[in-house]
Amino acid sequence: MLPINQPVYNVAIADDHRLIAESLSHLINDSPEFTVILLANNGKLLIESLKTATVAPDICILDINMPVMNGVETAREISKLFPEIKLLALSMNDDEASVIQMIRAGCRGYLLKDCTQAELHRALSEILVKGFYYSDFVTGKLVHTIHREEKNIEPAVRPSEREMEFIKYAASEMTYKEIALTMKLSERTIDGYREALFEKLQVKSRVGLVLFSIRAGWVNAN
């Protein structure tokens, strides 16, 4: 039984393997915190369904390798059309390029399909509550990528001293409200820093901001 006022989050799944999608649905519905309201076998169908849905999902789980519209294209389109919907990548792909592509496309987390039910539920909860989820897998992949990539960033996109302070706090588990208190600024000012950095660095989420900052050498990867 759910605690009083405990929210129930709506989930959508896009995966071209029907059996996997239905199995995921059963695993997710095992938790009273979530309910799956939509299944689609490719990104195009998911987006069409979102446009006509009377109830929008709070989070969409996206596979990468789908026909018609793959996970990366789907994540980009949903981030543009439905920015309030959070995204979680769930794939068999364990290569660095897939992780980076999906995170850059707007996903707040990345899980492999051999993850446990507990980790799946944890990832959904943390993305919905905290805004992102870093698995050990993703952290390891980012570290390897960081060591390989060049860190030359154009001066035009370099953050100001105050923006750099915000980035370092954003790379922690602090909420935006806690960051505002720590920096002794209003929450609206913090929102302004966030949106300005998203535009300046061409990222779409806190995860993207942190990833960019790690690559640039502005914050540590661990």
The answer to whether residues 124 and 190 belong to one domain is no
Which distant-in-sequence residues (6+ apart) come within 8 Å of 217 by Cβ? 151
The answer to whether residues 14 and 93 belong to one domain is yes
Mapped onto helix, strand or coil, the DSSP state of residue 37 is strand
Residue 98 covered by a domain? yes
Sites in the chain below the pLDDT cut of 50: 1-4, 143-144, 146-152, 222
Q: What CATH number did the domain enclosing 158 receive?
A: 1.10.10.10
d(CA 18, CA 25): 10
Domain boundary among 85, 110, 144: 144
Domain boundary among 144, 172, 190: 144
Helix (H) or strand (E) holding 57: none
pLDDT for 197 equals 92
Residue 40 covered by a domain? yes
d(CA 102, CA 63): 10
Residues forming beta bridges with residue 110, ordered by sequence position: 89
Give the total number of structural domains in the chain: 2
Range of the domain at 163: 152-216
Long-range contacts of 44-49 (CB under 8 A, 24+ apart): 44/68, 44/69, 44/74, 45/14, 46/12, 46/14, 46/74, 46/78, 47/74, 47/77, 47/78, 47/81, 49/12
The answer to whether residues 161 and 136 belong to one domain is no
Residue 1 covered by a domain? no
Domain boundary among 125, 144, 163: 144
**What digits encode the pLDDT tens for the residues 127-182?**
998 888 877 666 555 544 544 444 445 555 678 899 999 999 988 878 999 999 99
Query: Nearest Cα to 102, choosing from 57, 130, 141, 146?
Result: 141
pLDDT for 131 equals 83
pTM here is 0.64
